[in-house]
Chain A
Amino acid sequence: MAAELPATLQYTAEHEWVDDSSPVTVGITSVAAEALGDIVFVELPAVGDTVEAGSVIGEIESTKSVSELFSPVSGTVAEVNQAVVDDPSLVNADPYGAGWLLRVDMTSAGPLLSAAEYGALNP
């Protein structure tokens, strides 16, 4: 049921994706967005916050449920996507593009999966 998983991204078991730019861009996958349904509220960390790979850095709330957002990497938050804060439906509409969540000046990464590995976990 998941849309195509972009091969240029890496993924976590908790349904986040990261790209290979600098600072890294972080978002949630289409698998997560579809499971949540209509997203109505996104809570993100502040620019300048220190984040740790694997720790909770925010929340994504849909009409029916709330999910914690885990950071896939350690580092310092460089930017957050204000467009998503203002219009959470962007995450549903374009989870790998306009629905990006934050950018991090990364010092290290947690465990990351390829598109094939993530896809195998989420058939």
Chain B
Amino acid sequence: MSATGTSPQPSTATGAPMTEQHSPLHDEHVALGAALTAFAGWQMPLRYTSDLAEHTAVRTAAGLFDLSHMGEIEVTGPDAGAYLDRALVGNLSGLRVLGARYTMVVQEDGGVIDDLVVYRTGETTYLVVANASNHAVVLAELRDRAAATGLDVQVEDRSAATGLVAVQGPHALAVVEALPGLAPDPDGPADVTPATLRYYACLPMRFEGRPVLVARTGYTGEDGFEFFVDADGTPALWRALLAAGADHGLVPAGLSARDSLRLEAGMPLYGNELDRTTTPHDAGLGRVVRLDKVDADGEPVPFVGRDALAARAHSAPARVLVGLQGLGRRAARHGYAVHASTQPDAPVVGTVTSGAPSPTLGHPVAMAYVTPEVSAEGTELAVDVRGRREPVRVVALPFYRRPR
């Protein structure tokens, strides 16, 4: 057999020149028998038992993810909000304290450098969370842009000192409420608990006396909580969550399940749906670009990429990101061509950005960029799966929405 895998996949000894970074939870993963993989310069768990079992656990009970490879950048100072309005596409000065917002950092031409979640932890303090694969680039851009604006702001990289774990699934709240050692922060809002914490909001708490930022955010399409904690406090939190979750069906879940879950939920992955050649609008995420944001004087904010994105917002797109429901048995994968039909001479009309079997739906699912003419829901197309045409149908994203 030969393997032509889609990333991430188990690492093989290829003589990579650099030693990969280890998560603070590395020893936990090894003890749990995880298959580790090289991902963005880190050794991370690809799976612990089975991709399908871990995916299903998140949809029916709960999964525990190690996300310590992600980048955490603190942006603080009197001008922190105004600065982020200039550096990013969204309105961050208008984000309420203890709120969270999905946003992007783009180039001057509007091309996406990374997608981010920004947490406003205080009046003048923000936590910017970047993809592991873009951490260094995002840090450099934020520093350069801070210097360019001359605003009163500090940009500090906290990634090495920060661990991040996530509990995701319908039982996530039950798991968190069963966690001994989790207590309110004495300086935090007195009337907010994990149960009342709203989606896309955060809450400073204490775990066994250590500060922990608890956020009701995630990348799976389920309810869930993310915990930002000191790197050396991460193992104790991880073990305590596993113990608390034992009665609620909580299992550790790896990057493979993380990818199939976010795909079902129609969420973009940087490097697949988003890259420097795509604008937020191309990916159907024009709503994160706040062309209407104004500064303290009421003037439009001259944020990086503004002019290019203003032009893009009002022009006809060259391509559209769509969902493709697989009508056959074989899954399309990243990079496969989309054709107008299963006929041998049918022209290419697009490219698959992500694809996999959907454990929840029982058929293959994919996201693809296609020409606008074939992007209407219900359009029947075909994907070239390693030399054979598989029929697909355009469907609205997301493929899966959690029951409310």
| Chain A residues near B (Cβ < 8 Å) | 14-16, 28, 32, 34-38, 40-41, 59-70, 92
Is A35 touching B256 in the complex (CB atoms < 8 A)? no
Question: How long is the Cα–Cα vector from A67 to B4 in the complex, in angstroms?
Answer: 6
Question: Assuming the A-B contacts A38-B51, A41-B329, A64-B51, are A14 and B5 also in contact, with contact meaning beta carbons closer than 8 angstroms in the complex?
Answer: no
Which of A14, A32, A40, A65 is within 8 Å of B9, CB to CB? A65
Q: How many A-B contacts if CB must be within 8 Å?
A: 66
B256 touches A63 (CB 8 A): yes
Complex Cα distance, B6 from A94, in Å, reads 25
Neighbour of A37 across the interface among B2, B4, B51, B330, CB < 8 A: B51
Contact A16 B51, beta carbon cutoff 8 Å: no
Q: Are B256 and A64 interface neighbours, CB within 8 A?
A: yes
Among the listed A41, A69, A92, which residue makes an inter-chain contact with B1, where contact means beta carbons less than 8 Å apart? A69
In the complex where A37-B256, A41-B329, A61-B331 touch, is A67 in contact with B1 (Cβ < 8 A)?
Answer: yes
Residues of B with C-beta under 8 A to A68? 1-2, 4
Nearest chain-A residue to B388 (Cβ)? A43
A65→B51 CA distance, assembly (Å): 12
B5 partner, pick from A38, A59, A66, A69, beta carbons under 8 A: A66
The SS class assigned to the A binding surface is: strand
Which residues of A have CB within 8 Å of B190? Answer: none
Residues on the A chain within 8 Å of B47, using CB: 37
Whether the Cβ atoms of A59 and B10 lie closer than 8 Å is: no
- Among residues of B, the one whose C-beta sits closest to the C-beta of A31 is B1
Bound together, the chains give a CA A80 to CA B51 distance in angstroms of 27
Cβ proximity bits B1-22 to A, threshold 8 Å, 1 near / 0 not: 1111110111000000000000
Query: Which residues of B lie under 8 Å from residue A38 when comparing CB positions?
Result: 50-52
B386 beta carbon closer than 8 Å to chain A = yes
Chain B residues, CB < 8 A from A16: 1
The count of chain B contact residues (Cβ–Cβ below 8 Å) is 25
State which residues 32-68 of B face A: CB under 8 Å.
Answer: 35, 46-47, 50-52
Contacts of A69 in B (CB 8 A): 1
Extra A-B contacts (11), CB below 8 Å, given A64-B256, A66-B3? A37-B35, A37-B50, A38-B51, A38-B52, A41-B331, A64-B8, A64-B51, A66-B5, A66-B386, A67-B3, A92-B50
Bound-state Cα–Cα, A62 to B9, Å: 11
Provide the bound-state CA to CA distance between A51 and B122, in Å: 68
Residues of B within 8 A of A61 (CB): 330-331
Residues of A within 8 A of B256 (CB): 37, 63-64
Known contacts: A28-B1, A37-B47. The answer to whether A66 contacts B333 by CB under 8 A is yes
Q: Are B2 and A67 in contact (CB under 8 A)?
A: yes
Q: Which of B295-333 contact A (CB under 8 A)?
A: 329-331, 333
Would you call B5 and A64 a contact (CB within 8 A)?
yes
Q: Which residues of A have CB within 8 Å of B50?
A: 37-38, 92
Complex: A68 Cα to B10 Cα, angstroms: 17
Which of A15, A32, A65 is within 8 Å of B6, CB to CB? A65
How many angstroms between the C-alpha atoms of A28 and B3 in the bound complex?
13
A34 to B380, CA, bound (A): 36
Q: Give the distance in Å from the alpha carbon of A37 to the alpha carbon of B386 in the complex.
A: 20
Complexed CA–CA distance, A92 and B53 (Å): 13
Residue B237 lies at the interface, judged by CB distance under 8 Å to chain A: no
Verify if B279 is at the interface (C-beta below 8 Å from A). no
- The reply to whether the CB of B356 lies closer than 8 angstroms to some CB of chain A is yes
A81 to B5, CA, bound (A): 25
CA distance A113 to B356 in the complex (A): 34
* CB-based closest 3 A-B pairs: A65-B5, A67-B1, A63-B51
| Interfacial chain B residues near A59, Cβ < 8 Å | 386
How far is B357's CA from A107's CA once the two chains are assembled, in angstroms?
Answer: 38
Residues of chain B contacted by A63 (CB below 8 angstroms)? 51-52, 256, 260, 356-357, 359
Measured in the bound complex, the distance between the Cα atoms of B103 and A28 in whole Å is 46
> What are 18 A-B pairs at a CB distance below 8 A?
A14-B2, A28-B1, A32-B1, A34-B35, A35-B3, A37-B256, A38-B52, A40-B331, A62-B51, A63-B52, A64-B9, A64-B46, A64-B356, A65-B3, A65-B5, A66-B333, A67-B3, A92-B50
Roughly how many angstroms separate A16 CA and B1 CA in the complex, as a whole number? 7
Identify A70's interface contact among B1, B3, B10, B386, CB under 8 A. B1
Q: Which of chain B's residues has its CB closest to A58's CB? A: B1
Nearest residue, chain B, Cβ from A63? B51
Chain A neighbourhood of B10, CB < 8 A = 35
Residues of B near A70 (CB, < 8 A) are 1-2
A69 to chain B, nearest CB (A): 6
Chain B residues with CB below 8 A from A41, complex form: 329-331, 357
